[in-house]
Amino acid sequence: MRKKQFKAESKKLLDMMINSIYTHKEIFLRELISNASDAMDKLYFKSLTDDTVGMKKEDFCIRIDLDKENRTITITDNGIGMTEEELEQNLGTIAKSGSSQFKNENETNSDVEIIGQFGVGFYSAFMVSDFVTVQSRAFGAAQGYVWSAAGIDGYTVEPCEKDTVGTIITLHIKPSTDQEDYDTFLEPYKISSLVKKYSDYIRYPIKMEMETSRPVEGKDGEYETVKELKTLNSMVPLWRKNKSEITDEEYNRFYTEKFYDFEPPAKVIHSKTEGQVTYDALLFIPKHAPFDFYSKDYEKGLQLYSSGVLIMDKCADLLPDCFSFVKGLVDSADLSLNISREVLQHDYQLKLIAKNLEKKIKSELEKMLKNERETYEEFYKAFGVQLKYGMYENYGEKKDLLKDLVLFVSSTDKKLTTLSEYVSRMKEDQKSIYYACGETVDKIDMLPQADAVKDKGYEILYLTDNVDEFCLKALMDYDGKNFINICADELDIASQDEKKTLEEENEKYKDLLDFLKTSIGDGVTAVRFTNKLKKHPACLSSEGGISAQMEKVLNAMPNDNKIKAEIVLEINDAHPIAKKLQTMFETDKDRTADYAKILYDQARLISGMPVENPAEFAQLVCNLML
Ligand code: ADP
């Protein structure tokens, strides 16, 4: 028997294929099972029009046998088989896909769902084996043939005994090396887990003998180990079923098992889309954030299936960062996969799917917000920060997508509110949306600046997360209303007369105010009288775009360029302390300077900042007592 050579370019390709196309050696099993499934699809398809096939759908089956002693894995199918020529053509020429040809010939029939398309998958067998035989008998042929090859040196095809139609592929597994554990592929649990991982939704049963232990009849407490032929795959993908046939329980079980969560999801999104690109999507919004969600280790992404076969475990391109918490999968027969089926060839279809999913997720979250407020708030507690980051990231690219999904605590009832709810409650004369930043709701509630705004009957949004203010800055306005930080921006609630009086007062006491500023030092850029305070004597405000909160957040980042907010000490012009300062400045400059420092330190404490020199502060207060 003359050994035939692989075509020269094929040799090179084969070598490349075995050594570099696939990143995971374990996918050889997925490829061979997909081929077997294709072969059975072809014969099943034939049986619909040809009575001589004599097989029903339930007769088709893939069997895997492991032989540890002889180091072989055997994969048997009762599909359409290959003739001598087909063995030559399909397995002797790389990149010749019989399946792709079959697909083209049967393009109009939507029942055929063939997985193979490149004619290289079979060769992945050589990643784990040093010798491969393919015994096959084609439907309608009387004689079987066996193709065999030991790697890339060449192959032989010769007649063989084969009673039934179909194909038996036997892989002789390579010996393990220091770098690679090939022995693992001879372990039943490994093979069954690989089938579960990649081929769970192959539509024919994949069977293998597995050892199980069972009680011995008649002998109490004794167990025996027996071999049982088990079906390893679940066959019907949940997402292919009709929504009306799936119970909540089934969805929940699928989610908790597949995505390792102990709680059912907050929301299930199951959709079938047909059009420019056809796909099924089954998405889940978790109730709580995984422990690593807000760390660098968290990997976003959806599982990507092509016709029920897993292609990628975490396809990041399918999810925008703002929805990185979504779990689930997409299954599409339309994807143009690259040769290893590990990555996608063109990302056009993927982009299209991602765009649709983004819209879908948003509308489902909006529905939840509208109809299941409590569930939404629970969800928001877990993932709200991610949505807010999403608004701010990439120069606010996603701000319009997200602006109606974010919530902030409102001063009125200390409950979460949307921006649109805030706007709907705005007073007739109110032009802006007011907000304040701080560590906690209670601390913000006590800010001196809040009094005047609340007195007017205006609501204030209380921002407690670091990202909050950046998120509003990115949004710039909502429904035409600008945002005003009550500690940083001009409140614009005083009348013209009030403004004028204040201006005159500041002018009149310019010397005093300059003196106070000099006494405090670098901590402030100016000291001024204000009419916006009610009971508090003084407060700190910032000017020039960077608020004190932003300064704190930005400077906490690893960055050498430290930023400084321009802080102004504002003194309540109606407070007795203002009068006191005005008179004391004439008589006792030293004491006036001490008062300035105390007022400044107190204002820092109230706005949630530490006192710069606690020892000096304590001494100054002590002096007052003596
Ligand atoms: P692909 O599956 O991408 O077409 P493969 O290299 O895996 O490429 O297989 C090449 C061809 O060999 C297939 O298209 C198919 O025609 C044939 N083939 C492979 N395995 C089998 C099998 N188990 N039964 C019948 N034909 C097969």
Q: What is the pLDDT of residue 376?
A: 97
Cα(87) to centroid(ligand 1), Å: 9
Q: Tell me the helices (H) and strands (E) count for the chain, helix number first.
A: 19, 22
For a pocket test of ligand 1, which of 35, 106, 311 has the largest count of ligand atoms closer than 8 A to its C-beta? 35
Give the span between the Cα atoms of 92 and 6, in whole angstroms.
Answer: 6
* Ligand 1 proximity of 167 Cβ (cutoff 6 Å): yes
Nearest atom of ligand 1 to the alpha carbon of 120: 6
Beta bridge partner(s), residue 477: 482
Q: Residue whose CA is closest, atom 23 of ligand 1?
A: 36
Contacting residues for 365 by C-beta, under 8 A, at least 6 apart: 267, 285, 376, 379, 405
Tell whether ligand 1 has an atom less than 6 A from the beta carbon of residue 259.
no
Report the separation in Å between the CA atom of 234 and the middle of ligand 1, taken as the mean of its atom positions: 23
Strands 166-173 and 481-485, by their bridges, are unpaired
Going by the DSSP 8-state scheme, the letter that residue 114 receives in this structure is: -
Q: Write out the H or E segment, with its range, that includes residue 232.
A: none
Whether residue 92 has its Cβ less than 6 Å from ligand 1: no
Q: Give the DSSP per-residue string, 487-546.
A: TTS----S-HHHHHHHHHHHHHTHHHHHHHHHHH-TT-SEEEEESS-SS-SEEEEEESS-
**SS3 state at 480:** coil
- Determine the residue type at 521: G
Q: What average pLDDT does range 317-328 have in this prediction?
A: 96
What mean pLDDT is predicted for residues 129-137?
Answer: 96
R_g of the chain, CA atoms, integer Å:
36
The Å distance, Cα 116 to ligand 1 centre, comes to: 7
Provide the pLDDT for residue 600: 95
Nearest atom in ligand 1 to the alpha carbon of residue 169 is: 23
For residue 213, with 0-12 CB atoms within 10 Å meaning exposed, 13-18 middle and 19 or more buried, which class applies? exposed
How many of the other CB atoms lie within 10 Å of CB of 35?
25
- Lowest mean per-residue pLDDT among 153-157, 175-179, 469-473: 153-157
Tell me which amino acid residue 526 is: A
Angle at 399 between CA 398 and CA 400, to 5 degrees: 95
State mean pLDDT over 173-192.
95
Q: How far is the CA of 117 from the centre of ligand 1 (A)?
A: 9
pLDDT of residue 9 exceeding 90, the answer is no
CA of 2 to the centre of ligand 1 (A): 24
Q: Which atom of ligand 1 is nearest to the CA of 77?
A: 23
Give residue 221's pLDDT.
87
Cβ distance 331 to 237 under 8 Å?
A: yes
123 CA → ligand 1 middle, Å: 10
- The amino acid that residue 589 corresponds to is K
Ligand 1 site, residue 90, Cβ cutoff 6 A: yes
Indicate whether 342 pLDDT > 60: no
- 117 Cα nearest atom in ligand 1: 3
138 CA to centre of ligand 1 in angstroms: 13
pLDDT band at 140 (very low <50, low <70, confident <90, very high): very high
Whether residue 424 has pLDDT greater than 80: yes
Q: Is the pLDDT reported for residue 119 higher than 60?
A: no
Please state the atom number of ligand 1 nearest to the C-alpha of residue 96: 10
> Structure tokens of 274?
């047909």
117 ligand 1 Cβ < 6 A: yes
- Supply the DSSP string of 400-437, one letter for each residue: HHHTTT-EEEETTTS-EEEHHHHHHT--TT--SEEEEE
Tell the residue nearest (CA) to atom 15 of ligand 1.
98
Whole-number Å distance, alpha carbon 36 to ligand 1 midpoint, is 8
Measuring CA to CA, how many Å separate 200 from each of 195, 207, 264, 372, 403?
A: 6, 12, 22, 35, 40
Model pTM?
0.76
In the chain the domains, ranked by start, together with CATH numbers, are 11-231 (3.30.565.10), 238-377 (3.30.230.80), 407-485 (3.40.50.11260), 496-625 (1.20.120.790)
CB 94 less than 6 A from any atom of ligand 1: no
Higher pLDDT: 532 or 144? It is: 144
Cα separation, 536 vs 548, whole angstroms: 19
The C-alpha atoms of residue 167 and residue 172 are separated, in whole angstroms, by: 16
Question: 483 CB less than 6 Å from ligand 1?
Answer: no
Contacts of 312 (CB under 8 A, 6+ apart): 301, 303, 304, 342, 343
pLDDT tens for residues 211-267? 988 899 888 889 999 999 999 998 888 998 889 999 999 999 999 988 989 999 999
Cβ of 74 closer than 6 Å to ligand 1, yes or no, is no
> Is any atom of ligand 1 closer than 6 Å to the C-beta of 339?
no
Alpha-carbon separation of residue 478 from 369, 414, 455, 591 (angstroms): 18, 21, 23, 48
Q: How many CA atoms lie within 13 A of 459 on its CB side?
A: 25
Q: Please give the pLDDT value at position 267.
A: 96
Instruction: Kindly give the distance from the C-alpha atom of residue 173 to the centroid of ligand 1, in angstroms, as a whole number.
Output: 20
Structure tokens belonging to residue 58: 């339930």
Taking residues 455-473, what's their average pLDDT? 93
118 lines ligand 1 (CB under 6 A): yes
Residue-wise pLDDT for 49-58, tens only, equals 899 999 998 9
Percent of the chain with pLDDT over 70: 90
What percent of the chain is modeled with pLDDT above 90? 64
pLDDT digits (tens, 9 = 90+) for 259-312: 989 999 999 999 999 888 899 999 999 999 998 998 889 999 999 998 888 888
pLDDT band at 107 (very low <50, low <70, confident <90, very high): low
Q: Beta partners for 250?
A: none
| Dist CA 35 CA 117 (whole Å) | 10
Residue-wise pLDDT for 496-530, tens only, equals: 898 899 999 999 999 999 999 999 999 999 999 99
Please state the rounded mean pLDDT for residues 313-319: 91
Q: State if residue 35 touches ligand 1 by the CB under 6 angstroms criterion.
A: yes
Residue 275 CB coordination number (10 Å): 8
Compute the mean pLDDT over every residue in the chain, rounded to the nearest whole number: 89
Instruction: For residues 190-209, give the mean pLDDT.
Output: 94
User: What one-letter code names the amino acid at 558?
Assistant: P
- pLDDT at position 601 is 95
Cβ(77) – ligand 1 distance below 6 Å: yes
